[in-house]
Structure 1
Amino acid sequence: MMPHVRLAKHDDLSEVEGIVSRAYSPYVERIGQNPGSMADDYCILIGSGCVHVVEIDGRVQAILVLIPEASTLLLGNIAVEPSAQGMGLGGRLLNYAEQVARTLGYRAIRLYTNEAMTENIVLYNRIGYAETHRAEEHGLKRVHMTKSLA
């Protein structure tokens, strides 16, 4: 069955939290603490209509958090179930995020990632994101990046 992107429902909460935990747990040792995405309140984010999921054969396999801001759309999190990694779901969600941003009238999309997640920084640079600054927030060293959609 083809992957289907939809807004998350409250019934998806445990699957969303599980995917985030499994996708980010390999980074805990590298960072020295849980990545920020592991501490987010997904119940509130789902209730706010900010969480999108990729469903395949009735099972959630990936999640995307998009948070509207004044001048940009924040890509707050993207996580893929480890057993589904390599299927192109992350790339599909990155494209979907840009499509949503354009539909909402944004000229830019932004994100941040931990500086220890070097492979993410390389990926985001490769697909057009530019580093804007680095900052320590909540004890996490983050790299902030923006992509122009104009």
Structure 2
Amino acid sequence: MTDSLSIRLASPAQVEQIRDLTLRAYAKWVPITPRKPRPMTADYDVAVRENRFDCLYEDDQFVGLIETVQQGDELMIVNVAIDPDHQGRGFGTRLMKHAEEIARVASLRATRLYTNKLMTENIVLYERLGYRFEKETHHDLGTVVHMVRPVS
């Protein structure tokens, strides 16, 4: 990871950038899951107004994002997306740790997320970061794994 990384809050003017980066980041999952992953079908015009988006920059290049929303005493991680050319460099982990810090500063009790059960490499990463399996829910188009991590 380089020292030239910065995280900045997104502005509504970045909707197209956010949508484009998310579509590119999740494209690799389309052949694996029975449908497009939910972040690929989200309405970002609404999401950018209602949720928090923290954008990761390497120098001045937009390379990743994390979308979060407070739900009661927890912070839901809705979306973590890294530009495909920058994946595998620890940027997703950096953004996950950033979300955990947001939750800690807000005195929330946990961060939580869910992912498609077929996205096994993501589940392995989340477990390595301290997330624990909470439950599975089954939908007509697949199985969703819910995971939670207490804020320390």
Bin the TM-score by the shorter chain: over 0.9
| 1:86 aligned counterpart, secondary structure | coil
How far 1:49 sits from its partner (Å)?
4.6
| 2:127 aligned counterpart, secondary structure | helix
Closer, same or farther: CA 62–43 of 1 in aligned 2, 3 Å: same
How many percent identity over aligned positions? 31
- 2:143 — aligned with what? 141
How far 1:40 sits from its partner (Å)?
1.4
How far 1:59 sits from its partner (Å)?
2.4
- 2:115 — aligned with what? 113
How far 1:138 sits from its partner (Å)?
7.1
Greater shift, 106-115 or 10-19, is seen at: 10-19
How far 1:58 sits from its partner (Å)?
2.3
Closer, same or farther: CA 36–140 of 1 in aligned 2, 3 Å: farther
Cα distance between partner residues in 2 of 1:46 and 1:14? 10
Within 5 Å, give how 1:27-106 maps onto structure 2.
27-106=29-108
Cα distance between partner residues in 2 of 1:136 and 1:65? 24
Closer, same or farther: CA 77–138 of 1 in aligned 2, 3 Å: farther
Closer, same or farther: CA 46–126 of 1 in aligned 2, 3 Å: same
Closer, same or farther: CA 4–130 of 1 in aligned 2, 3 Å: same
Cα distance between partner residues in 2 of 1:7 and 1:131? 29
How far 1:56 sits from its partner (Å)?
2.3
Contact 1:133–1:143 (CA<8 Å) still a contact in 2? yes
Check if 1:7 corresponds to 2:13. no
Contact 2:80–2:92 (CA<8 Å) still a contact in 1? yes
How far 1:132 sits from its partner (Å)?
0.5
Contact 2:34–2:141 (CA<8 Å) still a contact in 1? no
Gaps of 5+ in 2: none
How far 1:127 sits from its partner (Å)?
1.4
After TM superposition, the runs of 4+ consecutive aligned structure 1 residues lying more than 6 A away are none
Closer, same or farther: CA 33–6 of 1 in aligned 2, 3 Å: same
Superposed CA RMSD: 1.5
Contact 1:16–1:60 (CA<8 Å) still a contact in 2? no
| 2:25 aligned counterpart, secondary structure | helix
Greater shift, 92-101 or 82-91, is seen at: 82-91
| 2:89 aligned counterpart, secondary structure | coil
Cα distance between partner residues in 1 of 2:103 and 2:139? 25
Closer, same or farther: CA 62–50 of 1 in aligned 2, 3 Å: same
- 2:24 — aligned with what? 22
Cα distance between partner residues in 2 of 1:52 and 1:44? 16
